[in-house]
Amino acid sequence: MVEEANSMDKGINCSEEAEVRKGPWTMEEDLILINYIANHGEGVWNNLARSAGLNRTGKSCRLRWLNYLRPDVRRGNITPEEQLLIMELHARWGNRWSKIARQLPGRTDNEIKNYWRTRIQKKVKHGESSDYQHAMLIDEASTTTSQTNSVEDGGAQPSYTQQRETNPVALAPPFSTESCDNFWSVEDFWSMQSFNGD
DNA sequence: AAAAGTCCCAACCGCAACCCC
DNA sequence: GGGGGTTGCGGTTGGGACTTT
């Protein structure tokens, strides 16, 4: 599925595709990036992308790393405490997502932004009020029902990335690099840091 | 069971700020 | 001080997953 999306880009032509890739990251790319940063550290992203042999922009690498691959990225449901904090901070600072994210260790600005837009903002609007507490109460109720159902019970088969979020540990063995069933977890990787030898 | 609608999130884009020469 | 390159941020979009009809 991830590969499918990429294959859409491949429709352009091979040489162009070799220039710069877009769209969902594959497991191979993730591994390359993680390995490279584990060995060399973060650096100038454009150089990093080139040196690592990733046909991606530095920007794309940075985003992928910061939002997804970093070992300290915390995934999974936003807790009620975090939710309350997000609401308070948003009330104070507005859409300063990165600033808000800094107050929530392990959470990314992208995640908070998405969370706000999909869960909170909608409810605030729906309630025809900017009453955050009210929105929160509504949301708390829903997080214990519908949201929990969709995320934790994981209705249908989750995608490569989604599976990693919901149940990162109990996944199929990582690093089976040949299929598009890229079910593995970053946590797996970081727990196997000896993988790359140095 | 199938189609349509909705939800959710990863990733992209454009812009501004920052940094270095 | 100016120019070019890099980084960080916020808004937006594409598409898979899920729900409803």
Which domains does chain A show, CATH number per domain? 2-73+170-196 (1.10.10.60), 80-151 (1.10.10.60)
Identify the band that residue A61 occupies on the pLDDT scale cut at 50, 70 and 90: very high
Per-residue CB contacts under 7 A with strand C, chain A residues 59-98: 59, 62, 95-98
User: Closest by alpha carbon to A139, among A117, A119, A118?
Assistant: A119
Distance CA A192, CA A194 (A): 5
Q: Which long-range contacts (CB under 8 A, 24 or more apart) does A161-168 make?
A: A161/A2, A161/A24, A161/A68, A164/A75, A165/A75, A165/A76, A166/A76, A168/A75
Span CA (A159) to C1' (C17), Å: 8
Q: H or E segment at A59?
A: helix A58-64
- Which residue is nearest nucleotide C6, judged by alpha carbon to C1' distance? A44
Span CA (A158) to C1' (C16), Å: 9
Residue A64 scores a pLDDT above 90 = yes
Per-residue CB contacts under 7 A with strand C, chain A residues 96-125: 96-99, 109-110, 113-114, 117
Q: Give the per-residue pLDDT at A159.
A: 43
Which nucleotide C1' is nearest A2 CA? C16
Question: What rounded mean pLDDT belongs to chain A?
Answer: 68
Distance of CA A70 to the CA centre of its chain: 10
Identify the band that residue A62 occupies on the pLDDT scale cut at 50, 70 and 90: very high
